Structure 1
Amino acid sequence: MNFSQIDIDETHIRLTSDLSVHDLRGHVFNLRKDLKDYIFRNNEFSISLEPLKMPEGDLPSIVLKMYESSILCDVGPMACVAGTISEMSIDYLMNCGSSYSIVENGGDIAVVNDRKVLCGIYSNNEFLGNDIAFEIKKRKMPLGICSSSGKIGHSISFGESDCVTVLGKSASLCDGLATRIANCAYGDSSQDRIANALECADEYREFFDSALIICGENVGTIGRLPKIVETEEFRDGSKKGYGSVRN
């Protein structure tokens, strides 16, 4: 297995892949160039917190996907950018012949895996901690796993969740939906926040497979989540990997 990191401006990808030869860096660079060129001519695309009407005419593939996802998720286009880059990266790697690759881009993940893989759930929740993970069964089709939080990270969230994680076929959609659902995690108590977030998630049920909402001492779920397992940590906080799973 090959491990690498790709850092291009705001994009920070951690890659695990069965491919030793590829040019994902060049692919991501070109995606970002197309996006930056478009934003230079259409600044509203980068600052709007609401979906924008898609213009007529040819659009770069990354811009087109961000328009489509943001419209479906009812969020601004940039709410989908990290997941879109992850999704288009995993598609590129699969076209290169990969059957096992994990693209993690600032916490927004796209994965294709021909064997079991663990995906950590980092919510900093005082009850659950950061020692749990999804156990993703082997699959031939890509899976998006994207998160949003009202307490962690630099992204804008209008809710108060510890973590909202959405899983589905499209990482681009999952990214936008995580933001949309997390924005609805408001209320006087954690129970209210969970209830409001679940009500919001139900409105977009056709666009994702499952979601996990963590808020204070309460957890909400929708759809059929992967098995959740405990993981062990090294003292420095790094995960031991597959051998660390405790059922």
Structure 2
Amino acid sequence: MTLRHHFELRETIATILADDNQYIDAACEGIRQARFEIEKYIIRDPFFATSYEPIPIPVGPDIIRRMGDAAQNAGVGPMASVAGAVADAGVRAAKIAGSAYCVVDNGGDIALISDRPIRVGLYAGDSPLSGKYAFLIPPKDEIYGICTSSATVGHSFSFGSADSVTVFSQDPILADAVATSVCNSLSLSDQSSLEDICEEIDGIYAVFGETSIIWGEIPPLVRAEKREDLITAGGLGFIRQGSNEV
């Protein structure tokens, strides 16, 4: 039976799905350790937490260097990928513990491994498309990222106007950074920000009201039943396993 666990630690408010409490516990510990490493690094380099531009990371823990690399690839500050980095750390810890199925939804920035199909619902605020569709994600043996940024939902600062920009990648940290970058610049009249997307990104799905923009390859979109109780604190996603219901 799939277990659903609500996790909160300061700014992190996440939903964790796994098949056993030991994997839930492992994911929680992975999140705690990730936050500890990030917070410790910010004490050493406060600019890491405030920069809107990429900054050099000469030394540091793996999670810090991966955030720095993602920022360089996306052209944003390193903290633009923090939610994806924390989600990735949780799933990575569960995978090391032996889990074949674990999802960490960190306010709409999702990392997962899965031995079964799952659906990730599209939530885009007041858009008419919101809650009506879900992405059908096939089983994933390796960690996969589905990260969403919005200029109209949630508390994150954005320069853009998109109701949602969802990015798919095998690297959740990079997916989070690219979602932020594209959301900051993409518009219906100017899609130039999609011209230089790095090759590690599989696809992008952006919503502006009744209109959507697709870049690359995205998972199939299927009809969904909107479930307010499944929307996480960031307000950018909801998730359920299986192939018949969201």
Query: Taking structure 2 as the reference length, what is the TM-score of the superposition?
Result: 0.89
Q: CA deviation at 1:87?
A: 1.2
**Partner-residue secondary structure (3-state), 2:199:** helix
Indicate conservation of the 8 Å contact 1:125/1:215, yes or no: no
Partner of residue 50, structure 2: 47
Residues 170-216 of structure 1: per-residue CA shift (max 9 Å, x gap): 11000000001011124xxxx31xx42xx312301412000101112
Q: Which one-letter code corresponds to 2:105 in the other structure?
A: E
Q: Which one-letter code corresponds to 2:151 in the other structure?
A: G
For structure 2, the residue ranges without an aligned partner over 5 or more in a row are 231-237
**Partner-residue secondary structure (3-state), 2:167:** strand
Query: Paired residue for 1:217, among 204, 207, 210?
Result: 210
In 1, Cα distance between equivalents of 2:180 and 2:225: 29
In 2, Cα distance between equivalents of 1:243 and 1:200: 34
Partner of residue 91, structure 2: 90
Indicate conservation of the 8 Å contact 1:48/1:76, yes or no: yes
Residues 153-185 of structure 1: per-residue CA shift (max 9 Å, x gap): 111110100100000101100000000101112
In 1, Cα distance between equivalents of 2:141 and 2:26: 22
Residues 68-115 of structure 1: per-residue CA shift (max 9 Å, x gap): 111111100110000011112211111111111111011100111111
Residues 200-245 of structure 1: per-residue CA shift (max 9 Å, x gap): 12301412000101112321101111111111246x6658954754
Q: Which one-letter code corresponds to 1:11 in the other structure?
A: T
Q: Does 1:77 align with 2:70?
A: no
Q: Which one-letter code corresponds to 2:11 in the other structure?
A: E
Partner of residue 164, structure 1: 165
Deviates more, 1:173-182 or 1:124-133: 124-133
Q: How does 1:118-197 map to 2 (within 5 A)?
A: 118-186=119-187, 191-192=188-189, 195-196=190-191
For structure 1, the residue ranges without an aligned partner over 5 or more in a row are none
In 2, Cα distance between equivalents of 1:136 and 1:100: 13
Partner of residue 100, structure 2: 99
Indicate conservation of the 8 Å contact 2:16/2:27, yes or no: no
**Partner-residue secondary structure (3-state), 2:175:** helix
Change (3 A) 1:220 1:243: closer
Indicate conservation of the 8 Å contact 2:150/2:165, yes or no: yes
Indicate conservation of the 8 Å contact 1:232/1:244, yes or no: no
Change (3 A) 1:86 1:162: same
Runs of 4+ residues over 6 Å off in structure 1: none
Query: Paired residue for 1:31, among 31, 34, 45?
Result: 34
Bigger relative CO (Cα 8 Å, ≥ 6 apart): 2
Question: What count of residue pairs does the alignment treat as equivalent?
Answer: 235
Indicate conservation of the 8 Å contact 1:230/1:245, yes or no: no
State the identity as a percent.
29
Q: CA deviation at 1:60?
A: 1.8
Indicate conservation of the 8 Å contact 1:127/1:217, yes or no: yes
Q: Which one-letter code corresponds to 1:80 in the other structure?
A: S
